[in-house]
Copies of this chain bind each other. A is one copy, B any other.
Amino acid sequence: MSTVRTTAELRAAVAAGRGAGPVGFVPTMGALHAGHESLIRRARSECALVVVSVFVNPTQFDDPADLDAYPRSAERDVAVAAAAGADLVFLPEAGELYPPGDATRVVVRGPLTESLEGAHRGAGHFDGVTTVVARLLNLVGPDRAYFGAKDAQQALVVRRMARDLRLPVEIVTCPTVRDADGLALSSRNARLSPAERERALSLSRALGACAEAIADGRLRHGAEAADAGLRALAAGGAEPEYFAVVDPETLEPAGPLEGELLLACAARVGDVRLIDNLSLTVPQFTDEPEAATREDRAPTAAT
């Protein structure tokens, strides 16, 4: 395992290892936890060379205080990455990714970036994500890049960007890793007090309860399910930002609930902003309620 800091060192190390098989890449903002470890292990199992980057990207933070508060632990991160199977850890200074006079942005437009996190963190958030990920992908040149499903929208936006820009890379999304009580792992969890950590469970619990009610047929419409989710978040002691029931590919709000869904939410617990999500497939009910049935059967020529 080696660490590199410059573009030249990185390119030389990747070029030396490329012949042996696929190059896997796990971009991170550091503060590595078991979620990141699962991405690195997945890359290890599929690739000949595994590159991990640790870079807290300033352009994706709309809130300077949030950027300042983001945990940094480079030395520990290198050890964690090595133990999980990384061959190479890239620890760039900002100048390696944002050269002097930098004037270029990679932007994805439309509902994919404007909804959910885009609506709540500001339009610039995903511009920062796509801009830095495009650069990292160009620097590393991986065959596969690994992203966590916990940031479901980010993974969708990055996949869209990579596809549109014709980058020769496969974007792999890996399952969210959770603590035993259901809390989705996040670098931000380290900032929660014990009491806040208990309240933070309201995210996964609200998602789980909403998914169960949908699976049971108790909730049959997106707006109704989103309302129930928001109430559950607040009841659990979080300050809800949003609870959305959406199409898992387009992120457009779901109407009558059917097929594949993504439930996604964001809430504040104390000073910490947390997000979580859950994918589910709605079972086919034989006793569809009148309202949903009527809507489904509305003549399409009129829409």
Contact = CB atoms under 8 A, between A and B. Distances in A.
B164 A7 contact: no
B106 A104 contact: yes
Contacts of A33: none
A148 to B, nearest CB: 22
Given A135-B165, A166-B135, A166-B139, A103 B108 contact: yes
Contacts of A108: 103-104
A167 B166 CA distance: 13
Interface string A91-113: 00000111101111111111011
Interface residues of A, number: 33
Interface string A128-172: 001000111011010000000000000000001101111110000
A166 B105 contact: no
Contacts of A161: 104
A99 B139 contact: no
A109 B160 CA distance: 22
Contact of A107 (B96, B107, B165, B166): B107
A5 interface: no
A104 B165 contact: yes
B97 A166 contact: yes
B106 A160 contact: no
How many copies of this chain? 2
A188 interface: no
A11 interface: yes
A103 B112 contact: yes
A12 to B, nearest CB: 12
Interface string A165-192: 1111000000000000000000000000
B101 A160 contact: yes
A168 B105 contact: no
A111 to B, nearest CB: 9
A289 B302 CA distance: 76
A163 B106 contact: no
Given A134-B165, A165-B134, A168-B141, A103 B99 contact: no
Interface of A: 7, 11, 96-99, 101-110, 112-113, 130, 134-136, 138-139, 141, 160-161, 163-168
21 contacts: A7-B166, A11-B168, A98-B164, A99-B163, A103-B109, A103-B112, A103-B160, A104-B108, A104-B109, A104-B160, A105-B106, A105-B107, A106-B106, A106-B165, A107-B107, A134-B165, A135-B164, A136-B166, A138-B167, A139-B166, A141-B168
